[in-house]
Amino acid sequence: MNINNLFFHINYCNMRQADEPWKYKAKLTRTLDHHELLLATGGKGSVVIANRRYNAQAGDIFYIPEHTMQSIESDFNDPLYFISVHFCYANVFFSDNNWSVKSEARELPLSSIKKVENIYQINHLFWRLVSGWYAKLPGYEFSSKALLQQLIFELYTNEKVENRNYSVELKIESVIKYMHENIDKKLTLSQLADMVNLSPTYLSRAFKERTGYSIIYFFNKLKIDKSKELIIDGDRKIKEVAKELGFGDEFYFSRLFKKIEGVSPLDFYSNNVHEF
């Protein structure tokens, strides 16, 4: 799953806090047709996800995928309090100047439980999201979706950090730095793998896990991003831009540009450069 393509919709948010009288069932069992993120904020209890029980403590974040049996059980004397966001998502793509949407029935690449007691950024994002949803100020739906996207990105990258091989991480960063420094060259997977003393297969897999893209696609994307700057800011012809970025074939560059951006370089120029 490439999280770069995900578009989120918030169904609703929920809040059960210690400063309000407890008026909920001690046990709530249900199966939802959407996803849920739940942050325990106090009290005692447990959360059951797909028949697996987790003790809930303040600072724990639970991810419950759609169509998954869940149960929230609260201690009678010290009730469990939490905030939650209920959402769904789809894959959104832009190619050949057209948008396409693909609904996703898969789980997000998140753990069922995440302990984030010492991670201020994640807690802060969650509170801002739910508080903004409840406040219902103008533009709250847009801002809430932006915060949800950022929250899921933070959770996703936090898990990656915990499971990360830092030696490989540094090598991937070296590869990206080398790409920037040699954006006008032709680079191959084997060449880059030799540079960081990894096998091509291992580097390819690790790079995609870290960035969401294959090495060659990522490098081509860097080139296309740079080409947009050159097309807009300079007076170069398309052929000159292609040559400056290491493309010997202007027509291959144009096909690649359209594949990534959805429009040809010439159309991009016409749409963005206006002479007076």
Q: Could you list the pLDDT tens digit for every one of the 276 residues in the chain?
A: 677 788 999 999 998 876 665 555 667 888 999 999 999 998 889 999 999 999 998 889 999 999 999 999 888 788 888 999 999 998 888 766 678 888 766 788 888 988 765 567 788 899 999 999 999 999 999 999 999 999 998 888 777 665 566 788 889 999 999 999 999 999 999 999 999 999 999 999 989 888 878 999 999 999 999 999 888 876 778 999 999 999 988 999 999 999 888 888 988 888 776 554
Q: If 0-12 CB within 10 Å is exposed, 13-18 middle and 19+ buried, where does residue 223 land? A: buried
Q: How far is CA 129 from CA 113, 123, 214, in A?
A: 19, 10, 33
Rounded to an integer, what distance in angstroms lies between the CA atom of residue 33 and that of residue 12? 13
Query: Does 3-162 match 166-272 in CATH topology?
Result: no
Amino acid, res. 238: I
Q: Which tokens in the block code for residue 41?
A: 């904020």
pTM of the model: 0.66
Rg (CA), the chain: 24
Domain ranges of the chain: 3-162, 166-272
CATH H superfamily, domain 3-162? Regulatory protein AraC (2.60.120.280)
Choices 3.90.1150.10, 3.30.160.270, 1.10.10.60, 1.10.1420.10: CATH for 166-272: 1.10.10.60
